[in-house]
Chain A
Amino acid sequence: MARSVTTNRKIINTAAAWAIGLLIFFPILWTILTSFKTEAQAINDPPIFLFFDWTLENYSVVQERSNYARFLWNSIFIAGGSTILGLIVAIPAAWSMAFVPSKRTKDILLWMLSTKMLPAVGVLYPIYLIFIKLGLLDSVVGLTVVLMLINLPIIVWMLYTYFREIPGEILEAARMDGASLRSEILYVLTPMAIPGIASTLLLNFILAWNEAFWTLNLTAAKAAPLTAFIASYSSPEGLFYAKLSAASTMAIAPILILGWFSQKQLVRGLTFGAVK
């Protein structure tokens, strides 16, 4: 007998899901609300939830003080560039590991993942020195390469998992059907791999977009993306919560919108391998 779900149970589950969802979303909501307050209301005690004088002043101040478009462009360039570069490197790598595994494949995968366990600050100094030597400090190209390398293990792992889900017999069937390697990749493998590649692309884009450690340490004025843009508003001269919130909202808005429209792909990406 199937487990019966009573109406009561459904209401409780729904309410619990909403409560957890709101709890997770609350900091972002609070940031967005604060961005519409005056500085005085922003630090008011007790905090004001909804009934304050809504104002767009913070946004215009932020816009005046810094060039949002340039930060935005840098973010898009760095996140997009590192993702595409990463896919170019990772697709053949994951492909060969998934379809022509050797005895060492598992070790290589684990080793790649182990680099993610290293605290980033541990390699900051050498990378910083390399950047100085190569003249890459505060350049979008340098940052793109570093972010690509940082996220490469995750891209390879995700793609490897997706490729592994493609049954080998289907590729063998294509071979029996007279497909050359080129046709096999073009007509059979790629269409089956595209959903996985799309999820990987999206997730990696978001990871790179939100990356703060390297972007803050390796950029100054020229190549700074939106993470640096936010940080510039938490200055030692004093905290301007409302303006900081406005800057944060402007920084997360594009990725929030992207995330909203690609929810399905993202959920698949985040739970990869979990559900067959």
Chain B
Amino acid sequence: MGQITLEKVTKSFGDVEVIPPLDLTIEDGEFAVFVGPSGCGKSTLLRLIAGLEDTTSGKIVIDGNDATEVPPAKRGLAMVFQSYALYPHMSVRKNIAFPMKMAGIDQAEQDSRIQQAAAALNLTDYLDRKPGQLSGGQRQRVAIGRAIVREPAAFLFDEPLSNLDAALRVGMRMEIGELHNKLETTMIYVTHDQVEAMTMADKIVVLRAGHIEQVGSPLDLYRAPRNLFVAGFIGSPTMNLIEGAEAAKHEATTIGIRPEHIDVSAEPGVWSGRVGVAEHLGSDTFFHIHDTGLAETLTVRAPGEVSFRHGDTIHLNPRADQIHRFDAEGLRMS
């Protein structure tokens, strides 16, 4: 069981309030992702749950028990750090065994769990090496191995993939996703990368300056961002935001439309502009369009290969049902 509830949790460093009063519930077995720009308090929030930082006020409840004053060692949570934080003087085997040794699990059980974890994480051949002799991806897998053998109530991941190169990151993302499907244990994952959030999460918590901007499934956030910040943060490339007369036509202060919801054509349409940079990915083509009179640049995604060149005039047809409307406060209008 691993339900985690935060009740009016706050955190201040000196006079600086990093987390204003915050309520949040993460259900048992859920994969929750905290996402936001750097400095938004997402790592601090994770460290509060871990017990590595003390709350200034409020309550943290794990599995129905008040854990606010419980030291990290006794919370039954496992954490994977960005820097991997492996014990450099211990072999991979001993690194993985360490939490079990601390829990006093007998040797035979330790060995069988190590074998299982090593097999699952492709580490069997490396058990007797020291962390210094492993690649970044292998080290991260050892860190994950060390977390899974103790069968925690929940896993905490603190930007675990940001030290890996792009290709490895995609692979590890899938491995962590599969791990979650297999273990069905609560996972809380912190990242600044919205793609990681979208691909892995059951529930995304978007944070800004310690505030929760929106909580929801990836598709909730994609389809109905609660405000301009979430609208701009979720989705890649980011949503086009248009103010002024065009927005007024929709009785809004700002309207937003995602690049994939604008159709391009050579025939006259609703909007028009001049092609700036065209990014040809094969499967899709991204156009950055200027001189539309709506915003400095509009980004448009066209499926497949579309042959507009730099400087060409291009016509745009936004899909009316995909236009998001925001009021003067930047909040979504229904």
Contacts and interface: CB of A to CB of B under 8 A. Distances in A.
Nearest to A188: B87
A169 B85 contact: yes
Contacts of B118: none
Given A167-B85, A178-B99, A172 B146 contact: no
A106 interface: no
Interface string B140-158: 0000001000100000100
Given A167-B85, A187-B98, A173 B79 contact: yes
Interface stretch (B70-78, B246-254, B306-314): B70-78
Interface centre among B71, B79, B88, B102 (most CB of A within 10 A): B102
Interface in A176-232: 176-180, 183, 187-188, 191-192
Q: For chain A, what secondary structure do more than half of its interface residues adopt (helix, strand, loop), or is it mixed?
A: helix
Interface residues of B, number: 25
A174 B89 CA distance: 13
A173 B73 contact: no
B81 interface: yes
B289 to A, nearest CB: 43
Contacts of A170: 85-88
A176 B77 contact: yes
Nearest to A175: B72
Contacts of B99: 177-178
Interface residues of A, number: 17
A179 B102 contact: yes
Contacts of B78: 176-177
A172 B73 CA distance: 9
Contacts of A169: 81-83, 85
5 contacts: A169-B82, A170-B87, A170-B88, A176-B79, A180-B73
Contacts of B50: 176
A180 to B, nearest CB: 6
A173 B142 CA distance: 13
B87 A176 contact: no
B333 interface: no
B85 A173 contact: yes
A177 B89 contact: no
